[in-house]
Structure 1
Amino acid sequence: MARSYKQNYDEEYVEDFLTDEDDGVEILDDIYVDEDDDYDDDNAKKPEQAKHKNLGRAIAKEILSYIKILVIAALIALVITRFIIINAQVPTGSMESTININDRLIGFRLSYLFSEPQRGDIIIFKFPDNEKDNYVKRVIGTPGDVVVISGGKVYVNEVELSEDYIKEPMVDNGTSQTFLVPEDCYFVMGDNRNSSFDSRYWQTTHFVHKDKILAKVIFKYFNGITKKPTFNTFK
């Protein structure tokens, strides 16, 4: 009987012990699983948050790079148009047929940095009677030249100019004009001689001082008559 009781007791004890152990593991397992689920949820959110954050930074960086490019481009354009070229549109027909109304031109500001304007050059300059306006004309007389206009002809230092660029022969009004071109100055006329307000008629002075020359016209890129791009270079 004693042996049977002890055996039964031991078996019940072992059974209870195993049951408790099983319960304990189950509880621990439940807790572990629950904690692991919460951890996985948090970790699942973190990559998404990091992804959105990185995307926002990438977009901001891209926008900033475009802004930098635009600012740099604007500064380069400002420097070029301020110091290197002039982009001009001609509103009148005083230079026809070489340059027509609404033709668009590019003038090079640095043309006379190391050289002097030459007879035949087409220049953009400040109009002497009102320097707020810019004019475009052809150089006829250079410093020291004597320009005589008589009988519908132009003479420079007693030699008649050969002018195949003028639109039509100049009308002879029966008068003669003589101009002695001062130092650092230029006498200019339009190619459309019968419809050009040029050195012949100005009030302040009949000459363009070199300091008032803005640029030499180097080419035409838009034709005001055909309304199409073109490319015509000038001497």
Structure 2
Amino acid sequence: MATKQKSEWLEWLKAIMIAVIIALLIQNFVFATSIVEGDSMEPTLENGERLIFNKIIYIVDEPKRGDIIIIQQVDKNYVKRVIALPGETVEIKNSELYIDGERYIETFLSEEISSKTGEFGPVHVPQDSYFVMGDNRAISKDSRNGLGYIQRDEIIGRSELIIYPISEWERTK
């Protein structure tokens, strides 16, 4: 009987170890978490919210306009929205965004925030670079003022889900 209990404990221990190893592999190579710091992504994301981001998506695909991405730079990670893609021209005039001369409607921004965007550009986004901004344009450190163009290899993932606080559980867009 003691041998049977010992065998059962070993099986449980193996199962737990396998589960831990799988969880670590998923966290390191597929999904990870990040915390939103500051108000630059309001109203979409708020300070202190925790996100799950997809680390593998940009191995098989390229960032798209509107994606909320995690950017890894030397000093810290940033959460921003992709506004313009490589080779595009960006301009903001009368608080309206223009990409390659055509007005781009930003449905994710409130009228109040959109009206505080100000003037910018035009600038041409270099190849293998992206132009990003926070949704709270008046206070965001982004491609306009501090972050510059984001290199492709600085993008470590796409935000997928708000996991904390639980009342905010939803996909990010």
Question: What is the TM-score when the length of structure 1 is the normalising length?
Answer: 0.65
Kept in 2, the 8 Å contact 1:137–1:190? The answer is yes
Q: Is 1:107–2:45 an aligned residue pair? A: no
The equivalent residue for 2:122 is 178
Residue type matched to 1:118 in 2?
K
150, 164, 167: which one pairs with 1:222?
164
Deviation at 1:122, TM superposition (A): 0.8
The equivalent residue for 1:136 is 79
Question: What is the TM-score when the length of structure 2 is the normalising length?
Answer: 0.86
Please identify the structure whose Cα radius of gyration is greater.
1
Deviation string 1:134-163 (CA, Å, 9 cap, x unpaired) is 111100010001111333232211122211
The equivalent residue for 1:200 is 144
Matched pairs, number: 171
Q: Is 1:71–2:17 an aligned residue pair? A: yes
Deviation string 1:53-92 (CA, Å, 9 cap, x unpaired) is x42x344333333332222122111110111112222122
Q: Of the two structures, which has the highest relative contact order with CA contacts closer than 8 Å and spacing of 6 or more? A: 2
Kept in 2, the 8 Å contact 1:151–1:176? The answer is no
The equivalent residue for 2:132 is 188
Kept in 1, the 8 Å contact 2:31–2:52? The answer is yes
- The share of aligned pairs that are identical, in percent, is 34
Q: Which one has a larger percent helix, Structure 1 or Structure 2?
A: 1
63, 70, 73: which one pairs with 1:124?
70
Q: Is 1:233–2:171 an aligned residue pair? A: yes
Runs of 4+ in 1 over 4 A off after TM superposition: none
The equivalent residue for 2:88 is 145
Q: Which one has a larger percent strand, Structure 1 or Structure 2?
A: 2
Deviation at 1:114, TM superposition (A): 2.5
CA–CA distance in structure 2, aligned partners of residues 104 and 176 of structure 1 = 31
Alignment CA distance shift 1:90-1:151 (3 Å): same
CA–CA distance in structure 2, aligned partners of residues 89 and 182 of structure 1 = 29
Pairwise CA RMSD? 2.1
